[in-house]
């Protein structure tokens, strides 16, 4: 079927310099009906274009979601053992008072690189969702960074605990001062752990294990 250009169809019938027909005549009625049909075709074309562009924009959005998920996984895998910088690498920094991005992250690079793929009619809505996507991703990466930090602290504490328990086991049974010093040193380090649940569990386990080590001397 032939395609009627939108601009042409929307003009209906140009009555500027063409022959005018009496409104009650058969020819006039036919011409009016033809103009109405052109307008209907133009409206259907417009609606179809909007539907297609909305569909295409959604496909681009889903592709962006996939790229973001992959980038988050890569950033997590490549982050330092303690997770430092993980969040900012991916999502940058935003001024909490103004909402302005003061340090862009990989998310900004991905989003801005994807934007030209979005149909022009849908770009406004697409851009409006940028900070919504950042906020959701920021929460995810902050949680991953904290989990990485918790694992790091737990791992480092386990090393200190094993060395300390070994020192207690090899110390003089009558040297209470050394035992108390090791005990307190462990409690001091535990007190600097960031996760309160892990800190409480570590302290309880430390007291129990030091008592056992002391009893075995």
Q: Report the pLDDT value the prediction gives residue 45, as an integer from 0 to 100.
A: 84
Q: Minimal CA–CA distance to 96: which of 55, 69, 131?
A: 131
Q: Report the pLDDT value the prediction gives residue 35, as an integer from 0 to 100.
A: 64
Identify whether the C-beta of residue 156 lies closer than 8 Å to the C-beta of residue 194: no
Identify whether the C-beta of residue 84 lies closer than 8 Å to the C-beta of residue 152: no
How many CA atoms are closer than 13 Å to the CA of 12, on its beta-carbon side? Answer: 12
- Structure tokens that stand for 131 in this block: 């900070």
> Could you list the mean pLDDT of each consecutive 10-residue stretch along the chain, which spans 217 residues?
44 47 52 67 85 96 97 96 96 92 96 96 94 96 97 97 94 90 97 96 96 84
Q: Report the pLDDT value the prediction gives residue 39, as an integer from 0 to 100.
A: 80
Beta-ladder partners of 48: none
Enclosing H/E stretch for 7 = helix 6-10
Q: Report the pLDDT value the prediction gives residue 8, as an integer from 0 to 100.
A: 41
Chain-centroid distance of CA 149 in Å reads 20
Q: Report the pLDDT value the prediction gives residue 83, as an integer from 0 to 100.
A: 96
DSSP, collapsed to helix, strand or coil, labels residue 137 as: helix
List the Cα angle 24/28/31 in 5-degree steps.
150
Owner of token pair 């990466």: 141
Q: Report the pLDDT value the prediction gives residue 4, as an integer from 0 to 100.
A: 42
Q: Report the pLDDT value the prediction gives residue 25, as an integer from 0 to 100.
A: 53
CA distance 50 to 64: 21
DSSP, collapsed to helix, strand or coil, labels residue 83 as: coil
Identify whether the C-beta of residue 105 lies closer than 8 Å to the C-beta of residue 91: yes
């Amino acid at each position: 079927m032939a395609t009627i250009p939108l601009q042409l169809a929307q003009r209906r019938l140009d009555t500027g310099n063409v022959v005018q027909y009496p409104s009650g005549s058969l020819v006039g009625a036919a011409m009016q009906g033809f103009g109405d049909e052109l307008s209907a075709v133009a409206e259907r074309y417009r609606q179809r274009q909007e539907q297609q562009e909305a569909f295409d924009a959604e496909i681009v959005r889903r592709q962006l979601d996939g790229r973001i998920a992959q980038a988050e996984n890569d950033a997590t895998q490549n982050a330092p053992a303690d997770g430092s910088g993980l969040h900012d690498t991916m999502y940058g920094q935003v001024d909490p008072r103004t909402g302005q991005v003061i340090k862009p992250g990989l998310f900004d690079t991905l989003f801005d690189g994807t934007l030209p793929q979005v149909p022009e009619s849908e770009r406004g809505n697409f851009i409006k969702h940028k900070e919504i996507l950042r906020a959701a991703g920021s929460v995810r990466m902050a949680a991953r960074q904290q989990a990485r930090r918790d694992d790091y602290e737990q791992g480092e504490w386990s090393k200190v605990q094993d060395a300390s328990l070994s020192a207690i086991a090899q110390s003089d049974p009558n040297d209470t001062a050394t035992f108390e010093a090791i005990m307190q040193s462990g409690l001091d380090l535990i007190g600097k752990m960031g996760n309160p649940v892990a800190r409480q569990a570590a302290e309880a386990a430390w007291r129990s294990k030091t008592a056992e080590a002391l009893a075995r001397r």
